[in-house]
Chains A and B, each alone.
Chain A
Amino acid sequence: MLLTPINRNYHDFKIDRDKDLCINCKVCVRQCSYQAHYWDENRKKVMHDNSKCVGCHRCEALCPTAALNIRQNDSEFRTNALWRPVFIKNIYKQADTGGVLLTGMGSPVDIPIYYDKLLLDASQVTNPSIDPLREPMELRTFLGAKPDRLEFEKGKDGKPILKTKLTPQIQLETPLMFSAMSFGSINFNLHIAMARAATKLGICYNTGEGGLHPSLYMYGKNTIVQVASGRFGVHRDYLNAGAAIEIKIGQGAKPGIGGHLPGEKINAKVSETRMVPLGSDAISPAPHHDIYSIEDLLQLIYALKEASEYRLPVSVKIAAVHNAAAIASGVVRAGADIVVIDGMRGGTGAAPGMIRDNVGIPVELALAAVDQRLRDEGIRHRASIVAASGHRCSADVVKAIALGADAVYIATAALLAVGCTLCARCYTGKCPWGIATNDAELAKRQNPEVAEQKLINLIQAWSHEIQEMLGGMGLNSIESLRGNRDKLRAVGLSQAEMDILGVKHAGK
């Protein structure tokens, strides 16, 4: 008894197996990558170990007789407002391991979600709402720097000819993109699915920092290639393969720290794409070691523009931190064509829980502050703004655009679309849904064609909903929503919060 760790019984989930329904077919045994289910030779039946369950619900979904139910463990600690169970359990774990508590996915903690406190407007009487089924409802969006004015000259026939040459832009048919998830953190099946879905939808997906496998170059027009601190897979062809280049300075889920892809996830294909040895850990340093200040960022931006012969817009992604507005202003002045603001609710393949749950600020506040700052300084046109982190539905997207975003990056929602259940164990490499894993057996659970169709469906569904909401507000084009904060009203927010968001309280 003394050898049993304190932890043994304080697990999060309980596997509830209906004995009458179970036919001992062992599907759950084969499906569970954590060995929570096992065949008990002595008893001749399938048994389970609750402490191993991560709550991914894979077994429950595949059990042919619906015999399984995964529940929260109802064993309770004595109620304590300060020492909530999560802190107690974390201490037990750290006392056992002496290590940093790793976790995956976006933060589950109760950070205010401002989207829930913002409500949208609709037309009544004084202006007509527009029906997207009868009238055009335009979502096309261009990302990239815009001139502050256009110049024209008169052609021979007296018609105007545009003199101003626009810098490179990304054209999106709907203001949504798949955010950076590296090949390695998720597997190749999903990279193909994202690339094809983005191509069919006329939007872009982001490679993340893991390079781009040569077989995906054909989807380049709909690809944003990322350059992060580890520079994995970065070479001339890679930089020129996509529609834009993104410099990743920070990630909302883990601002201020780097990344670590464990060697177990580096298989042959990943190793080839990342240009790192097979099976070795791929570590991204916390900062870029050639960027210690804003003028260094300027140099990298222009180095990338040179490398791509000024054909591609350069995007810079920063985590939403306290001085996001001032930082974004510097980033735009350094020559970025797109600024991505990644809030603290963003997902991750792996991050220390302390960082994920405590560092950074919600994207709504950062986005609103950045948009306003760039306008105050008269440089908003010089860069597009993309918001990322925890956009759960089309209404969140509409609210983000009304706050000032040009487009929204989604990643967690995209993974949910292909079956992720937010078990938050992506860092283990054992994702039972075949997403955050390169184990061939597990990865097989994702069929690229099916995943592609799910992603297409999701974006189409959201786009239709965005059109409905736009039409309801009496708008027929997305650019009239962008930064139109008059379409938002706050409920239950303080004056300080409303001032930062630039919105009135509901009823005003």
Chain B
Amino acid sequence: MTKAKKLSLKQNYTMLTKGLDWEPSYQKKEDIFPQLSFEGIKIHNWDNWEDPFRLTIDAYWKYQGEKEKKLYAIIDAFQQNNGQFNVTDARYIQALKIFINAVVGLEYSAWRGFTRLGRELGDASPRIATQMQAIDEMRHATTQTHAISHYNRFFEGMGNAPYQYDHAWYLSIPKSFFDDACSAGPFEFIVAISFAFEYVLTNLVFMPWMSGAAYNGDMSTVSFGFSAQSDEARHMTLGLEVIKFLLEQDPDNVAIVQKWIDKWFWRAYRVLSLVATMMDYMLPKRVMSWDEAWTIYYEENGGALFADLARYGIKPPRNAEVTIKEKGRLSHEMWSIFYANRDVVGFPLWLPSQEEMAWFSEKYPDTFDKYYRPRFEYWQELEDLGTPYTNSTLPQLCQVCQWPCLFTEADDPTEFVHRETEFDGEIFHFCSDGCHQIFEDEPKKYIQAWLPVHQIYMGNCLLPDADPSSPDFNPMAEAIRYMGIKPGVDGGLFKDHSDAKNWEKWTERPANIHQGASTDFVRKTSSQNSK
């Protein structure tokens, strides 16, 4: 018996894609792929789709399997060595709570979205590419969960991630972002996620999370990051291929793609405010400021990208100049609202130390001392007096991005943005021109937003065991409980939080390296930098 000759990679890939596909004979193509026309995108020839990776099933399985093996070996070692206590301090762990509660849900939604594309796109090779990306995204959701679940055995606020993602007020921001994409057509989804989010902005997520994790001694998250990074390289390349393919297929596609780039750049930027906050305020050892990251990863790298796309008639995203004007204040505005509302947040909050404020003054010379230092110093006084500043009224929300309307005018950080419109006789508010423009383009989509503040006031945020008629009924505490946040446990002031106290008890190191010890458990000199 003669042994069949091994196929070359190219033959293998062709058989997997073209070879497994067929021309339908008794059903119309548009009935089999019903989502391909309503967005107005015109595709004349799917054969022009060039998969930059030509990934085959056996190659994919082999690479991913090897990465998994390495990742889980490191996670095992991390757990056996009590790696959770080797991070800089217990504030770092608070950043992981955003990761587990927000990012894992995004990965899972990405799986949903790409799975649909794996069914709906009009040719076998993009269907295979998106199907493999779907598997990657599911892998990211599971490996992130595994990497972080170890922390959940020691610290609060990480045990209810999928539930919080679907219910917590500030997680409606990332959730609505992906729900918006998943409920759009397949071409809009792929431009939104593969191009605007992954190609243009992934570095901004990876860089601070992964370098930040490495810098703060979190080997478990770092190894997840390395494991995901080669997937991400593939996803980014797909994003660029998609854009070029759509733009080359028909000149009419250009305006549609431009509109999606404008929309999804803005949507993604608003979600990334959480990353800005984490970089500047939650990493005890900081990698770079949000201002620096935005300058490098958006203004410089993005600038080069859009210069390259100019030959197709594509312009840089609308409102990009607003993001540049906002970069000196974004994280400060954001941390202020989290601090002032810390009792309804899933992690405890703290004020920046003297050392951190000195760093802000240096990194944000035009804004920090002028607008934010006086605020934080005043709040520190109040904290020292035992009457910390606390807001107790819910915000006006943006109908599109679902952030509170907390942002200030591009040219004046002392004036709140007011943008409002009417549709069908009802009033809607927005945080920015960017969100307002998105609404005006598709009002019938955004009127159906599930806005947490309004839902609370309607009385819809109650668990079945809540009793509004009981004399000690506390509507806000009940709403928080409904959102998967434990009132009095998950939020509050960091120095009083059980994570901080347990950290000092278990490690004998300060829970906040800049503030020194807050309990008697820390016997060593408190100002010394722990590790």
A and B are interacting partners: no
